[in-house]
Amino acid sequence: MLTGKAKAAQFGITRPGEVFQALSEIFDCARWEVRAELSGFLTEAKARKLCAIARRMSAPGPCYMYCLDPMEGMIKGLAPDMEFAFTETLWSGSRCRVEVSR
**CB contact at 8 A, 9 and 3:** no
Q: According to the model, what pLDDT value does residue 48 have?
A: 79
Return the domain boundaries, the chain. Answer: 4-101
One-letter amino acid at 87 equals T
Distance CA 68, CA 87 (A): 12
Full pLDDT tens readout for the chain, 102 residues: 468 999 999 999 999 989 999 988 888 878 899 999 889 999 999 887 888 889 999 999 998 988 899 999 999 999 999 999 998 998 989 899 999 999
Q: Greatest CA span in the chain, whole angstroms?
A: 41
Residue 100 phi, psi dihedral angles, 5° rounding: -120, 125
DSSP structural state of residue 57: T
